[in-house]
Amino acid sequence: MADTRLGSLSAGTPTGTSLIPFSESGTTYSATAGAFAGVIGGDFCFSYIISNGTSAISQTGMYPYFQVNYSGVIESIDIMSGTSVGNATMSVWKGNYGTPPTSTANTIMGAVGTEVITFTGGTKAQGTPVITAFSKGDVFAINLNGAGTITFLSTMIKGKKTAVS
């Protein structure tokens, strides 16, 4: 598999022309990120989408990395799905380009083993991370612990920029 550390992601909803849609073992993955460029204190939202078309998401574990190109503070992490039934549990990991996150020891959500956000179909779930600050060049990963019968899951990491360039 190719190197999956990503940087300079584009804002918006992935489409057939997105920079980062890809499939592996029948599951399609997409990642996007957006922020108001050049504005300290400006809002940002990293959006990470996991989809398996019309079938339930079957691949659990760590999904591809994405790298940020500014410093900031995370205010919340939301997960949503258009599926009206099903459930999912996931966590968010952070590291840097030299040592990207590879295990629950890298969680930003709280104590290892309790770091998950649980989503039960038809609603959204929100988590407040324990580790909120990140630096330019930091690398994030989504770890999907389980997905029940969900076919589409969107993770949104929201916050404010603290430095640009």
Residue reference for tokens 């430095």:
163
d(CA 43, CA 4): 26
124 close to 158: Cβ distance less than 8 angstroms: no
Name which residue leads in pLDDT, 38 or 55.
55
pLDDT for 120 beyond 60: yes
Quickly state the pLDDT bin for 55 (edges 50, 70, 90).
confident
pLDDT of residue 11: 36
Q: All domains of the chain, ordered by start, with CATH?
A: 22-163 (2.60.120)
| Distance separating the N- and C-terminal Cα atoms of the chain | 31
Name the region of 148 (left: φ>0; alpha: ψ -120 to 50; beta: rest). left
pLDDT of the residue at 131: 84
- Lowest average pLDDT, out of 50-59, 91-100, 136-145, goes to 50-59
Give the position of tokens 């030299």.
Answer: 98
Task: Provide the phi-psi class of 17: left if phi over 0, else alpha when psi is between -120 and 50, else beta.
Answer: alpha
User: What pLDDT shows up at residue 83?
Assistant: 64
